[in-house]
Amino acid sequence: MEIEQEDLFAPRLVTTEELFAPGHRACIGCGEALAVRHVCKALGKNVIIVTATGCVEIISSLLPQTSWRVAWIHTLFENVSAVVSGVESGYKARKRKGKVPAAKDVKFVGFGGDGATTDIGLQALSGAMERGHDFLYCCFDNEAYMNTGIQRSSSTPYGAWTTTAPVGKKSIGQMTWKKNMPEIVVAHRIPYVATASPSYPFDLMAKVKRGLETKGPAYIQILSVCPTGWRCAPDLSIELGRLAAETGVFPLYEVINGEYRLTHDLPELKPIKEYLKLQGRFKHLTDDAIELIQTRVEEDYMKLKAKAGVK
Partner 1 sequence: MKKVVGLEGSFAIAEAVRMANTDVISAYPITPQTHIVERLSEMVADGDLDAEFICVESEHSAMSACVGASAAGARVFTCSAGQGLELMHEVLYIPSSMRLPVVAVAANRALSAPLSVWCDHSDVMAIRDIGWIQMFAENNQQAFDLTVCAYRIAEEVLFPTMVHIDGFFLSHVIEDMVLPNDEEVAGFIPEYKHPFTLDPDNPVSMGCYAPPFIYSETKKAQEVAFESTHSKIQETWKEFGDLFGRYYLPVEQYRMEDAKIALFTMGSFSETAMLAVDELREEGKEVGLIRLRLWRPFPFKEFRDAVKDVELLVVLDRAVSFGMGGPVCSEVKSALYDLRKKPNIVAFIGGLGGRDISVNEFKYMIREAQEKEKAIERGEDVEVEMIGIRE
Q: Which residues bind partner 1 (CB under 8 A)?
A: 45-48, 50, 57-58, 61-64, 66, 68-76, 78-79, 81-94, 96-97, 99-100, 105-106, 123-124, 126-127, 130-131
Check if the beta carbon of residue 43 is closer than 8 Å to that of residue 222. no
The type of residue at 247 is: T
Nearest distance from residue 99's CB to partner 1, in Å?
7
Q: Which is nearer to partner 1, 73 or 184 (CB)?
A: 73
Nearest distance from residue 155's CB to partner 1, in Å?
21
SS (H, E, C) 182-230: HHHHHCCCCCEEEEECCCCHHHHHHHHHHHHHCCCCEEEEEECCCHHHH
Q: Which is nearer to partner 1, 189 or 277 (CB)?
A: 189
Nearest distance from residue 103's CB to partner 1, in Å?
13
d(CA 298, CA 275): 14
Q: Give the relative orientation of helices 31-43 and 237-246 as an angle to the nearest 10 degrees.
A: 80
Nearest distance from residue 146's CB to partner 1, in Å?
16
Q: Which is nearer to partner 1, 94 or 273 (CB)?
A: 94
Nearest to 192 by CA among 124, 261, 131: 261
Q: Which is nearer to partner 1, 140 or 253 (CB)?
A: 140
Nearest distance from residue 128's CB to partner 1, in Å?
8
Q: Which is nearer to partner 1, 122 or 289 (CB)?
A: 122
Nearest distance from residue 194's CB to partner 1, in Å?
24
To which H or E segment does residue 139 belong?
A: strand 136-141
Nearest distance from residue 114's CB to partner 1, in Å?
20
Q: Which is nearer to partner 1, 130 or 291 (CB)?
A: 130
Q: Which is nearer to partner 1, 60 or 162 (CB)?
A: 60
Q: Which is nearer to partner 1, 217 or 251 (CB)?
A: 217
- Output the CA–CA distances (angstroms, integers) from residue 200 to 23, 238, 271, in the order listed: 23, 9, 20
Q: Which is nearer to partner 1, 132 or 280 (CB)?
A: 132
Nearest to 80 by CA among 114, 43, 32, 105: 114
Nearest distance from residue 141's CB to partner 1, in Å?
22
The type of residue at 171 is: S
The type of residue at 192 is: Y
Nearest to 199 by CA among 250, 271, 158: 250
Nearest distance from residue 222's CB to partner 1, in Å?
22
- DSSP string covering 221-278, please? EEE---HHHHT--GGGHHHHHHHHHHTTSS--EEEETTEEEESS--SSPPPHHHHHTT
Within 8 A by CB and 6+ apart from 109, the residues are 43, 47, 48, 49, 50, 84, 135, 136, 137, 138, 212
